């Protein structure tokens, strides 16, 4: 039986693929733990400088496996339900905390927890075959995988409530206009387009990329004064780094910079 999560590395980009295409990559019993393991492995691998999460087949992720959830209902498996939600929380918390940029390559439908997994990523690119759905209300549930937090920050409270309460389908161009995704690419050339973005990040100065990610998320939950303090501390350190010296020399010499990466 093929693994529920696939992982490969090429050109310093680690690609994590949700691999249950027969159920639109719905999260099976082991999917959450395996996803967490692959993310930890990617973060600890110095040869990986950027991470892509995508789905096998025609979907990105359909969210929870309804048949499995119904079995939990029937047997009143409250501990299993709580454990699964806790693991999902670990996944999205790690994505936000890890030093490397994480891209959601939304190759097809992203619904429920699948959508909120995508929202937890740093950047999101959608195929023209994708659509987005906060489908929880249609089965009598509330958003999980951090959906309340991520969607509200992206689209604001009123729009988030509308998407949560009506559970209506959002098409790619609407998702782009709402800020749910950074760009939309034609499906026929989707993954090469996303990989081009990922390789660009993989070739950027990894210390600056990690610092930008940290400071950006820090600023969303802290004051201007605290953010300024972090910026000043970080800039003072980076200004004396090898990458900053190389970047400035390259700028003056009108050439492409050759940044020193973590694995060199």
pLDDT at 70: 76
Query: Could you give the CA distance from residue 54 to residue 6 in angstroms, rounded to a whole number?
Result: 10
- Nearest-angstrom CA–CA distance, 172 and 178: 10
More confident residue, 85 or 17: 17
How far is the C-alpha of 63 from the C-alpha of 85, rounded, in Å? 12
- Give the model's confidence band at 262: pLDDT under 50 very low, under 70 low, under 90 confident, else very high: low
Q: Distance from CA of residue 203 to its chain's centroid?
A: 19
pLDDT in tens, 69-127: 777 677 766 787 788 889 999 999 999 999 999 999 999 999 999 999 999 999 999 99
Q: Does residue 244 contact residue 238 with C-beta atoms inside 8 Å? A: yes
Indicate the pLDDT class of residue 223, thresholds 50, 70 and 90: very high
Share of the chain above pLDDT 70, in %: 97
Find all residues with CB under 8 Å of 191, minimum gap 6, and list them: 54, 105, 107
User: Residue 67 — pLDDT band, cuts 50, 70, 90?
Assistant: confident
CA neighbor of 141 nearest in space, from 112, 120, 168, 117? 112
Q: Which fold has domain 206-253?
A: Lyase 2-enoyl-coa Hydratase; Chain  A, domain 2 (1.10.12)
Report, as an integer, the average pLDDT of 40-62: 97
pLDDT in tens, 151-165: 999 999 999 999 999
Ranges of each domain in the chain: 5-202, 206-253
What pLDDT is attached to residue 263? 41
Predicted confidence at residue 264, as pLDDT, reads: 41
Contact 154, 180 (CB under 8 A): yes
- Calculate the average pLDDT of the chain: 94
Whether residue 154 contacts residue 121, with contact meaning beta carbons closer than 8 Å, is answered with no
User: Would you say how long the chain is, in residues?
Assistant: 264
pLDDT for 81 equals 78
For residues 45-73, average pLDDT: 89
Question: Across residues 129-143, what is the average pLDDT?
Answer: 95
- Give the model's pLDDT for residue 74: 73
- pTM for the whole thing? 0.94
**What is the residue-wise DSSP string for 41-110?**
HHHH-TT--EEEEEESTT-SB--B-HHHHHHHHHHT-HHHHHHHHHHHHHHHHHHHHSSS-EEEEE-S-E
Place domain 5-202 in its CATH homologous superfamily. Answer: 2-enoyl-CoA Hydratase; Chain A, domain 1 (3.90.226.10)
Which one, of 69, 101, 80, lies nearest residue 206 by Cα? Answer: 101
pLDDT at 63: 87
Whole-number pLDDT of residue 65: 75
């Amino acid at each position: 039986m093929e693994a529920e999560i696939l992982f490969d590395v090429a050109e310093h980009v680690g690609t994590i693929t949700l691999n249950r295409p027969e159920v639109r990559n719905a999260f099976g019993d082991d999917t959450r733990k395996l996803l967490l393991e692959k993310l930890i492995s990617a973060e600890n691998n110095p040869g990986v400088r950027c991470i892509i999460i995508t789905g096998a087949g025609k979907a990105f992720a359909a969210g929870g496996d309804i048949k499995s959830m119904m079995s939990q209902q029937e047997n009143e498996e409250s501990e299993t339900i709580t454990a699964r939600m806790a693991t999902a929380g670990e996944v999205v918390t790690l994505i936000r905390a890890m030093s490397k940029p994480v891209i959601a390559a939304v190759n097809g439908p992203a619904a429920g927890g699948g959508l909120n997994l995508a929202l937890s990523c740093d950047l999101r690119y959608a195929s023209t075959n994708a659509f987005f759905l906060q489908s929880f209300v249609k089965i009598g549930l509330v958003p999980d995988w951090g959906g309340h937090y991520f969607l509200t920050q992206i689209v604001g409270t009123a729009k988030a409530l509308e998407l949560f309460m009506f559970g209506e389908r959002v098409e790619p161009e609407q998702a782009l206009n709402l800020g749910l995704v950074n760009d939309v690419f034609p499906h026929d050339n989707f993954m090469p387009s996303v990989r081009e973005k990922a390789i660009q990040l993989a070739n950027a100065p990894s210390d600056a990329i990690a610092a930008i990610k940290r400071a950006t998320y820090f600023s969303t939950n802290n004051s201007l004064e605290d953010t300024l303090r972090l910026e000043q501390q970080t800039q003072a350190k980076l200004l004396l780094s090898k990458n900053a010296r190389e970047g400035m020399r390259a700028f003056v010499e009108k050439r492409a910079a050759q940044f020193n990466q973590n694995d060199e």
